[in-house]
């Protein structure tokens, strides 16, 4: 790792893509995790309204800015001002990039840039990292809940288990259960099967936890929404929240989104300035989500 490794884009890319081995406390990088990552990143994108030039690719811009936290903007003779991932050549007095090298496979030679002259950087957090670690954490949690949910539903199909003295008795018991499952109102069986039928065990009643797992998934998503700046319903607290608790939740929800907004606003202003107005970048927060909590009543209504 280079001496600037704590904000080195290539080092971060290497860590995120190569160090994916599962462990005892980390979920496995599987299709469920990747699907949940896509879902969580779309939630992040919905928080911010970003205006970029039409000839810039929005998906490319979002990917590098929000996943990895930073992106350079360089002037090139062939394409003009374009965004590119970068590596740092030197730092300024505040330990932020000063001289940088932009990399793009469509450009033959590396693009050398000096911040404030022919390049600038865009970042969302002060350490130049992005949401990747946060999204990975929550995506793995959701994947584990999904796996538990699927296994639980599969086990619930094992509806009944009983005990028979011999194969003939087992056939009679299965036939009796089959008739009952089809809703026959009266089933007559040999009295010698009485003890066997009384020993049946109803497995779903003891093992089916789909509702609890659904609530667990909702709780994980709510925690994530709070981190990225989307107000959400409190499923763990069923009684009505007082105004102070609502205000405290709002403050927690806005905290990280406000930091991202401030950094993007400052970075966009610097890009607009260094490009001499050729590039016009703007950012704002999306409108807040109005969510009514379960069992919550509007002012003037009676609590039930």
Structural domain boundaries enclosing 179: 163-199
pLDDT per position as a tens digit, 18-64: 454 444 445 556 788 889 999 999 999 999 999 999 999 999 999 99
Residue 77 lies in a domain: no
89: number of Cβ within 10 Å: 14
Residue 171 lies in a domain: yes
Residue 252 lies in a domain: no
Residue 51 lies in a domain: no
Number of domains in the chain: 1
pLDDT per position as a tens digit, 178-235: 776 565 666 677 777 666 666 554 544 445 577 788 888 999 999 999 888 887 766 5
The separation between CA 220 and the C-alpha centre of its own chain, rounded to angstroms, equals 9
Residue 8 lies in a domain: no
pLDDT per position as a tens digit, 147-186: 888 777 766 665 566 667 788 878 887 787 777 656 566 6
Q: Does the pTM exceed 0.95?
A: no
Residue 234 lies in a domain: no
What is the enclosing helix (H) or strand (E) of 121?
strand 119-123
Residue 119 lies in a domain: no
Give Cα separations from 45 to 36, 57, 68, 214, 283 (angstroms). Answer: 14, 15, 14, 25, 12
Residue 282 lies in a domain: no
């Amino acid at each position: 790792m280079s001496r600037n490794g704590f904000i080195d884009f290539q080092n971060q890319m290497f860590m995120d893509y190569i160090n994916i081995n599962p462990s005892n406390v980390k979920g496995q990088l599987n299709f469920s995790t990747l699907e949940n990552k896509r879902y969580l990143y779309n939630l992040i994108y919905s928080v911010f309204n970003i205006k970029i030039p039409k000839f810039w690719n929005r998906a490319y811009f979002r990917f590098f800015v929000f996943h990895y936290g930073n992106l350079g903007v360089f002037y090139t003779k062939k394409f003009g001002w374009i965004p590119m991932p970068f590596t740092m050549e030197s730092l300024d007095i505040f330990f932020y990039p000063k001289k940088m090298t932009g990399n793009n496979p469509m450009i033959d030679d590396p693009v050398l840039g000096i911040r404030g002259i022919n390049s600038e950087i865009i970042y969302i957090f002060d350490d130049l990292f992005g949401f990747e670690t946060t999204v990975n954490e929550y995506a793995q949690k959701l994947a584990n809940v999904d796996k538990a949910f699927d296994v639980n539903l599969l086990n619930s199909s094992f509806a009944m288990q009983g005990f028979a003295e011999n194969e003939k008795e087992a056939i009679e018991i299965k036939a009796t259960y089959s008739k009952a499952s089809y809703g026959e109102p009266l089933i007559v069986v040999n009295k010698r099967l009485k003890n066997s039928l009384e020993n049946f065990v109803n497995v779903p009643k003891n093992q089916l936890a789909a509702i609890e797992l659904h609530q667990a998934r909702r709780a994980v998503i709510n925690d994530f929404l709070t981190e990225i700046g989307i107000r959400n319903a409190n499923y763990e607290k069923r009684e009505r929240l007082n105004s102070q608790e609502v205000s405290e939740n709002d403050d927690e929800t806005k905290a990280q989104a406000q930091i991202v907004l401030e950094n993007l606003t400052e970075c966009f202003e610097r890009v607009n300035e260094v490009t001499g107005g050729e590039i016009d970048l703007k950012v704002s927060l999306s409108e807040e989500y109005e969510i009514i909590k379960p069992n919550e009543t509007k002012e003037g209504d009676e609590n039930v």
